[in-house]
Amino acid sequence: MRRIIVGVKRVVDYNVRVRVKPDNTGVITEGVKMSINPFDEIALEEALRIKERGLADEVVAVGIGPSDAQQQLRTALAMGADRAVLVQADTVVPPLAVARIFHKLIEKEQPFLVLLGKQAIDDDNGQTAQMLAGIWDRPQAVSCSKIEIADGKATVTREVDAGLEVLEVDLPAVMSVDLRLNEPRYVKLPDIMKAKKKPLDTLGLADFGVAEASPFTTVKVEPPPQRQKGVMVKDVAELVDALKKKGLV
């Protein structure tokens, strides 16, 4: 079966103003709207479009997180994913551990393509796709803004500083996607109802040989410094003078 695996991470909704906990141990998530990571939602949309073009038979959404992450996986099922897998973890799972979990799933599911968001908006690491490609020993393409599949190969367009870069990679492969790739579909109520009947399997970290404890410790989380009030100047000469005083020119 031609299968695509898509990573779906649960994050604080991008419309929510993130607030730091009073003890500086993290950000407040209690009572806060949570959603699919925007980059992952785009990856899922691309997988569904590939399937709709007849180039894939099944799309599997995979999430790693607390039991509440089932909500985001149900949303992925409502969008059109055929089934979902939740690897339940009550602690933060670092990118390398995430890559190892995906590799174990790849060995079982045998996909021809793994699609991930290029980064998650909660930690901005942007490392999982590259690590997974290294562990799997398969080609990778990151920050993709266009994907075309034909004859066992994928032609990928990436936006780089110098313009557009076009790569051809053999499949199976790992790809991470950029925001410009597509616009995710709107989930309708009938699709949400149908999603409740689709399979969602729950596994534990122990099933993948991954330790519960993270090798990293967050020392402190702080909000960014408050932006300083701007200064109005009368003319260009005064602007240049102010910049010279700050050592900027």
Q: Which residues contact 11 (CB under 8 A, 6 or more apart)?
A: 34, 35, 36, 37, 120, 121, 122
- Structure tokens of 62? 């995979």
pTM (two decimals): 0.86
Give the residue carrying structure tokens 């997180």: 65
Backbone angles phi, psi at 163, to 5 degrees: 140, -130
Q: State the sign of the Cα–Cα–Cα–Cα dihedral 6, 100, 213, 89.
A: positive
Cα(53)–Cα(56) distance, rounded to whole angstroms?
8
pLDDT-derived band at 212, boundaries 50, 70, 90: low
Backbone angles phi, psi at 154, to 5 degrees: -125, 130
CB atoms within 10 A of CB 34: 16
Cα(167)–Cα(143) distance, rounded to whole angstroms?
12
pLDDT of residue 114: 98
- Structure tokens of 160? 């780089």
Give the residue carrying structure tokens 């607030």: 19
Cα(35)–Cα(133) distance, rounded to whole angstroms?
26
Crossing angle of helices 70-79 and 38-52, in 10° steps, is 30
Backbone angles phi, psi at 235, to 5 degrees: -155, 180
Mean pLDDT of 4-32: 91
Cα(36)–Cα(21) distance, rounded to whole angstroms?
22
Q: Is the pLDDT of residue 30 over 80?
A: yes
Q: pLDDT tens across 140-177, in order?
A: 999 999 999 999 999 999 988 888 999 999 999 999 99
Please give the domain boundaries of the chain with CATH numbers for all domains. Answer: 3-223 (3.40.50.620)
Q: pLDDT tens across 101-123, in order?
A: 999 999 999 999 999 999 999 88
Give the residue carrying structure tokens 């410094």: 225
pLDDT of residue 159: 86
Q: pLDDT tens across 56-106, in order?
A: 999 999 999 999 999 999 999 999 999 999 999 988 888 999 999 999 999
